[in-house]
Structure 1
Amino acid sequence: MDYIRREIPVCEVCQRPANQTCGGCKLVYYCSKAHQKHGWKEGHKLKCCAYKINYSEELGRHMVATRDIQQGEIILKEKPAVSGPKMSCTAHCLSCGVKLQPIQKDDQLDFYKCSSCNWPMCDVVCEKSEVHREECKAMSRKNYKCNIKYETPEKTEAAYCVIAPMRVLLMKESNPRQYENIMSLESHLKDRINTPLYLVLKANLVTFVIQVLGLSFDEETILKVSSIFDTNSFDVRCPDGSKRLRAIYVTASMMNHNCRPNTRHIYIGDDNILALIATVPISKGELITATYTQSLYGTLDRRKHIKINKCFDCECERCKDPTEFGTYLGNIYCSVCNSSSIDLVSEKNGMLVSTNPLDETAPWKCEKCGYCIQSRQMFWGNNALKQEINALNKSGPKVFEEFIDKYKATLHPTNHLVIQAKLALMQIYGNYKGYTLTELPDYLLTRKIDLCHDLLEVADKLESGWTRFRGTILLELQGAMAMQTKREFEDDKLTKAGAQDQLMESMVLLQEATNILRIEPHMKEILETKVQDLSNLLDSTNV
């Protein structure tokens, strides 16, 4: 009989037989907790992770799972290598990134200013922060004084374009190792160098660094830093909109893009630590991916956005599929074989799809009758409708309902513009003043539930797993379903057993939403309140 020889795991510290595996990477073993602690301090802390960075000619540097990763698992936590304000923005604090509010100074409104360089800040604490120290010294040495003044609440300032690149350049002396890490990232400067934005940066950013600050960098290096930011930075913002900045996370930047990614990320604490979370199970050897664009854009808009902002053409499976996994997110009804008398939600309706989704100039053809239109017609129509929906007054539901009804013969129920309108309606119904769950009439409560189901169907195809989008829909859906059950029970339309069954269904949805959203900043108390409210409702129907 042949025996398979099995290698016995040994302790990383003493090389004796071991059966305790590292809880992080699952790749090394220890014979005891004491040796695990010793191994961690002696260097395993720096190597312990569920991923590795590989390189290939096709993908460049990319992140690969070194073991099976569970859904909801935190793959990576990383501090920003550098952060700063967006190129052009309203007045924001250079230290904490908070949008600034003016204060009364000398009988007029203005911002608190750094006593050395005169940049708007929150207060003296932010003025003295470490993140502002080197740039303040560099500007003060040259007697530079920022001249930003308060004029209107939403006035944007182009002067902020110098801050983030300046911080990287100053690292060459203050933190050379981090400087090299950042400079090793892809820049795509050749693709950007002659764009209108970079012609402006040549005049403003380069002049500021060389002539105003007197730093010894050439034009190419300065513009390369700016291009590295544009290619690799993450948009960091608070849920309440009070803070917005851009930051580079060197390791997280190694992830490849996919229009249906297997991760999402959040930002934790004042240090803006990026936590990368697996939205679906990821198998050992599988690429770990993120999305560089909006998942609810159609293919035309997604690929254009990526090309302009990240300088490459996406060719993922979703982009190759003319139906976008059956959602038809970027498609419209055929005007020839569909008439106003046809059932507008029928799957038999003719749909215009691209004959080659990876070629923006390819014609679009009806799946049913073969009628074709040129790609430019799709671009024009799509852009016109985007402008229309973006211009809507978003304070109430009426305009969104009218938009959906107005274009029901052109835009099917899961077109990205209809989805945008439905998402707005889902958030208005049940949350806005005058439309809270207790205020909604029964027909609007039913409308909210239907909207949630429509959106959930799209989420399951495009953002499956533990995504923020899916978690938010589940949270809204369970609240509306619970309220509907409560009303039906109180009106004697439901028995006690029927109400209990429906509330348990709501509880299942809430538990899944909680699993997805509990790690999100500011969500803990909201979720706890939702669970308590639903538990109380269950108790009240059990009396």
Structure 2
Amino acid sequence: MSTKYEVKTSNKLGRYLVAAKDLRAGERILSDQPFVLGPNSDTSLVCFNCYLPLISKFVVCKNCGIAPICPGDGCPEQFAKWHSRQECDFFRNLKLNKGTSPMTMVQNVGSLLVLRALLKQNDSPQEWKVFSELESHLDRRRDSSVWEYYDNTVKFIQSLGLLENGQNQELVQQICAAIDVNSFEVRGPPIPAIGCAEVLRGVYLQATLLAHDCVANTHMSINDNNVLVCHASTDIKKGEPIYYNYTDALKGTAIRQQHLMIGKYFKCTCSRCSDVTEMGTYMSSAVCPACKTGYMSQHGELWVCHSCKNETEHSVVGHKVQCCSDKLEVINKKDEKELEEYIRYVSLVLAPNHYLLLDAKQRLAGVLRDIINREPRPTKKVMRRKMELCKELLPVLETLSPGICRIKAITLYELHATIVQLAKKLFDAREITGADFADELLCAEKHLKHALEMLVIEPGNSPEGELCAKALEEYRALKLTIAKVMDSVHAEGKVYKIEDVTEEEALHPEID
């Protein structure tokens, strides 16, 4: 058993993990190899060996003559290889004894993950036993549209002769259910120079025991070797449950609940879901039409204002919220003017931190970032607007995703970058003094250092890990710039205290 956690059982959570000792924010709790990993059921064709998308052509494995794999020079060396010797021998026997063709595999690539899980029954019997005991909610899926959806997978597995010796189609449905309920999304390998990749699914037998809470205390990452690493995102006391958020923290309660009910078959009753204000963020609330200043939250068939207590029928407020949602679906989300117009329009209806508004603001911040990076002389207005958007998002993230948070780190990095760019522009134009310039750079340094403290635990070969490396170089450069500016402003009589921050300190030595 790990010294970091232990497994408990309860009627509410089933099997779940608790801290076996006090855990610090940033401390690694567990790392987990996938029991099985593969493409989604609705995937495009991917290489059976490395999961690269096969866009135009493929070849088949020379040994088994069935598995579609990368053409040309074959699979890139840096990618993990999944077409095992045992599987290759199995496919070879299929071709020899049943005449199975490569096109059979091509047409059933969406069933590959289920097939590989079933083959584990003989290849890894101990792991298979743990997998077979995972929650599947099979009875709730029986005779449903999901059950029918996987009928083709059942027929495919049957055609391979894997359901003999008294086994039946229910075993395949149980595997499908266990994967649906317990898998994690994994970023597949991108095509070099193009970047497109398939989203894979992986079952991790340790990590799947993490209980859900919409305000989690863990941070999850999966590296290019498909190893899942779980860190504490906040301090966790000995004996406290270890939680992971299986939903999107920046979605409203109704959407999160729907996601959990459809995918995990349970209704969340965490502190956030039980609070109509969503911990004071009013993320699903609307502006009260009566007092114009208060926010209304839904209570059954009524929406009630927290300020003036006005009550409005759900058919009225719900319709307005739905119109805002429908509008976001159809606008051009890469157009600055359309996004700004949408934000102005829905701000008359929705609370400032409503998830639809936050979605639009995130997208607008990305558009403005691209404008700033693309234009040789971006305007001060664009820079200030981007900074404003970042500052509006950060308090919400701090409340709903306390501690280490990937989106928060990226937002802080973006905020720091724009502060530096704007401050330099103003200083070069003699619109601010050297002392003001130094103040802005120190503010940017604070945000960048905070971002680095979170990004440092990301896998080095992930986009966030690459951002960490870039941010560290910018941190070094920013420290030098600050030192030079300080030298020039000392004559003005303003005294600054600059801490000597080493590279190790910048990367937060407390993080394991």
Pairwise TM-score range, normalised by the shorter structure: 0.7 to 0.9
Identity across matched positions, percent: 28
Query: Measured at CA, do residues 534 and 455 of structure 1 come closer, stay the same or move farther in structure 2, by a change above 3 Å?
Result: same
The alignment partner of 1:460 has SS state of: helix
Distance 1:457 1:161, change over 3 A: same
* Aligned-partner Cα distance in 2 for 1:425–1:306: 28
**SS of aligned partner of 1:418:** helix
Which position in structure 2 is the counterpart of 1:480? Answer: 418
What letter corresponds to residue 326 of structure 1 in structure 2? G
**Superposed CA RMSD:** 2.6
Aligned match of 1:254? 209
2:137–2:177: 8 Å Cα contact kept in structure 1? yes
Q: Deviations over 1:391-433 (max 9, x none)?
A: 3323332221121012221023211011001111222222x25
Q: How does 1:213-362 map to 2 (within 5 A)?
A: 213-216=161-164, 217-237=167-187, 242-270=197-225, 272-338=226-292, 349-355=293-299, 361-362=300-301
1:121 aligns with 2:69: yes
Q: Secondary structure at the match of 2:34?
A: coil
Structure 2 SS opposite 1:247: strand
Contact 2:211 2:242 in 1 (8 A): yes
TM-score by length of 1: 0.80
SS at match of 2:272: helix
Task: Tell me if structure 1 keeps the 8 A contact 2:426–2:432.
Answer: yes
Q: Out of 176, 182, 188, which is 2:137 matched to?
A: 188
3-state DSSP class of the match of 1:285? coil
> Does residue 1:88 correspond to 2:42, yes or no?
yes
C-alpha displacement of 1:437: 7.7
Q: Kindly tell me: are residues 48 and 306 of structure 1, through their superposed partners in 2, closer, same or farther at Cα, counting changes over 3 Å?
A: closer
1:435 Cα deviation after fit: 5.0
Match of residue 427, structure 1, among 363, 366, 370? 366
Counterpart Cα distance in 2 of 1:137 and 1:450: 59
- Asked if structure 2 preserves the Cα contact closer than 8 Å seen for 1:264 and 1:277, the reply is yes
Q: TM-score, normalised by structure 2?
A: 0.84
Confirm whether residue 201 of structure 1 aligns to residue 150 of structure 2. yes
The alignment partner of 2:103 has SS state of coil
SS at match of 1:413: coil
Match of 2:103 in 1: 147
Identify which range, 533-542 or 483-492, moves more after superposition.
533-542
1:425-464 aligned within 5 A: 425-430=364-369, 432=370, 435-436=373-374, 439-464=377-402
Q: 1:70 to 1:437 in 2, by over 3 A?
A: farther
Does the residue aligned with 2:430 lie in a helix, a strand or coil? Answer: coil
Residues 191-212 of structure 1, C-alpha deviation per residue, up to 9 Å, x if partnerless?
222221321212x011111134
Kindly provide the CA deviation profile for residues 226-276 of structure 1, in whole angstroms up to 9, marking residues without a partner as x.
000010000011696535210011111111000010111111232x10110
Q: Could you tell me how far 1:77 is from its partner in structure 2?
A: 0.9
Q: What one-letter code is carried by the residue in structure 1 that aligns with 2:19?
A: A
1:90 positional shift: 2.1
Contact preservation (8 Å) 2:320, 2:349: no
> Could you tell which deviates more after superposition, 119-128 or 449-458?
119-128
Q: Distance in 2 between matches of 1:434 and 1:483?
A: 9
Tell me the alpha carbon deviations over residues 91-139 of structure 1, each in whole angstroms, 9 at most, x when there is no partner.
222232223332xxxxxxx234445454442247559945444444444
Change over 3 Å in CA distance of 1:350–1:129 after alignment to 2: closer
The answer to whether the aligner puts 1:160 opposite 2:106 as a matched pair is no
In structure 2, relative to structure 1, the CA distance for the partners of 1:269 and 1:182 (3 Å cut) is same
| Partner AA of 1:111 in structure 2 | F
Conserved 8 A contact 1:162-1:205: yes
Relative CO higher for 1 or 2, CA cutoff 8 Å, sep ≥ 6?
A: 2
Show the counterpart of 2:500. Answer: none
CA separation of 1:517/1:487 partners in 2, compared to 1, >3 Å: closer, same or farther?
A: same
How far residue 488 of structure 1 moved from its aligned partner, in angstroms, is 2.1
Question: CA–CA distance in 2 between the matches of 1:412 and 1:130?
Answer: 48
Q: Which residue of 2 aligns with 1:111?
A: 58
Counterparts of 2:324 and 2:48, CA distance in 1:
38
1:406 aligned to 2:315? no
What SS is found at the alignment partner of 2:304? strand
Structure 1 residues 212 and 392, CA gap change in structure 2 (3 angstroms): farther
Change (3 A) 1:379 1:96: farther
Task: Give yes or no for the alignment of 1:211 onto 2:149.
Answer: no
> How far is the alpha carbon of 1:321 from its aligned partner?
0.5
Contact 1:50 1:65 in 2 (8 A): yes
Q: Tell me the number of residue pairs that the alignment of Structure 1 and Structure 2 aligns.
A: 465
Q: 2:454 matched to which residue of 1?
A: 516
| Structure 1: 5+ residue stretches without partners | 1-46, 103-109, 150-156, 339-348, 356-360
Aligned counterpart for 1:101 among listed residues 55, 70, 73 = 55
Equivalent in the alignment of 1:465: 403
1:528 paired to 2:472? yes
The 3 A distance-change label for structure 1 pair 160 and 331 is: farther
Amino acid of the structure 2 residue aligned with 1:88: D
Equivalent residue number for residue 416 of structure 1: 355
Instruction: Check the 8 A contact 1:138/1:213 in 2, yes or no.
Output: no
**Residues of 1 paired with 2:243 and 2:216: CA distance?**
5
Work out the CA distance in 1 between the residues paired with 2:260 and 2:301: 19
Judge conservation of contact 1:135–1:166 (CA < 8 Å) in 2.
Answer: no
Code of the residue aligned with 2:295 in structure 1: it is M
The residue aligned with 1:75 is 29
For 1:470, what is the secondary structure of its paired residue?
helix
